[in-house]
């Protein structure tokens, strides 16, 4: 069996792929388009992974850790919150200058039925949260969430992160098919929350 790619490199930066599970099913998710990111297959043969599995793959690319580490991949990393925390703790203890970012759909508090932000404070330096649209209807159409009240959950997660003093960016993807996103309104939502804003143009290969 080929080893699961829990850790992969993109332009020399380290990314961590903890899971293939997600509480969204975004219509533009690259999971539906291709199996790999620059040659690393993102599908895991098992969800039964441990922090040690991730750490041992991290050690293989140790020389690049100082560029920063992003939890991302083909799934929602906060679903595996305990592993995420353990790996982030390992990074912070061994490479204290390394910045850790989590790319997330912002559903963590809904998934775990508690506010996980205090647990992540000091471990995560930045959240990049998918806002995806300026209202719930558009969000639901684009993200196809599998949990209730996902849009509000995502925004309140962003608010908690900002209030905890963690750098937070809300993002949208524009240019996907004929979907029209009101970028100004999205930017205003980010401003109201106190977060940064990023408009990412849709790229066919996803990155
Ligand atoms: S939140 Fe991310 S991983 Fe989940 S379906 Fe959307 S794009 Fe894919």
Q: Does 1 score more than 70 pLDDT? A: no
- Residue pair 181/174 in contact by the 8 Å Cβ criterion: yes
**Burial group, residue 205, by CB count within 10 angstroms (0-12, 13-18, 19+):** exposed
CATH 2.40.50.180 matches 7-201: no
DSSP, res 116: -
Instruction: Give the pocket of ligand 1 (CB within 6 Å).
Output: 22, 24-26, 29, 31, 75-76, 105, 130
**pLDDT higher than 80, residue 203:** no
Rounded to the nearest whole angstrom, what is the distance from the C-alpha of residue 196 to the centroid of ligand 1? Answer: 20
- pLDDT tens per residue across span 98-114: 999 999 999 999 999 99
pLDDT confidence band for 205 (50 / 70 / 90): low
Token pair 């790996």 is at which residue? Answer: 87
Report pLDDT for 34: 77
Give the pLDDT mean for 159-174.
97
- Which tokens in the block code for residue 140? 């639901």
Residue of 107, 143, 206 to mutate, ligand 1, most atoms within 8 A of C-beta? 143
pLDDT band at 202 (very low <50, low <70, confident <90, very high): confident
Kindly report the number of other CB atoms within 10 A of residue 108's CB atom. Answer: 29
Phi, psi of 79 (to 5 degrees): -60, -35
| Position 197 pLDDT exceeds 90 | yes
* Structural Rg of the chain based on CA atoms: 16
**Cα(38)–Cα(87) distance, rounded to whole angstroms?**
23
**Every domain of the chain and the residues it spans:** 7-201
pLDDT at position 55: 98
Could you tell which of 42, 44, 127, 130 is best to mutate to test the pocket of ligand 1, judged by most ligand atoms within 8 Å of the CB?
130
């Amino acid at each position: 069996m080929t080893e699961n790619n829990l850790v992969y490199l993109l332009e020399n930066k380290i990314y961590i792929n903890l899971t293939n599970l997600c509480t969204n099913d975004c219509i533009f998710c690259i999971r539906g388009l291709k199996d790999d990111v620059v040659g690393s297959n993102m599908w895991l043969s098992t969800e039964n992974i441990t922090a040690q599995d991730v750490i041992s793959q991290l050690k293989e690319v140790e020389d690049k850790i100082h560029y920063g580490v992003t939890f991302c991949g083909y799934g929602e990393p906060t679903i595996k919150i305990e592993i995420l925390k353990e790996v982030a703790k390992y990074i912070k203890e061994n490479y204290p200058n390394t910045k850790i970012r989590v790319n997330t759909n912002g559903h963590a508090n809904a998934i775990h039925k508690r506010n996980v932000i205090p647990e992540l404070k000091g471990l995560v330096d930045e959240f990049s949260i998918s806002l995806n649209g300026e209202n719930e209807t558009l969000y639901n159409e684009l993200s196809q969430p599998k949990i209730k009240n996902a849009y509000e959950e995502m925004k309140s997660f962003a608010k908690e992160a900002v209030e905890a003093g963690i750098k937070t960016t809300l993002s949208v993807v524009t240019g996907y098919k004929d979907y029209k996103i009101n970028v100004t309104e999205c930017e205003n939502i980010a401003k109201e929350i106190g977060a940064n804003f990023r408009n990412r143009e849709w790229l066919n290969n996803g990155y």
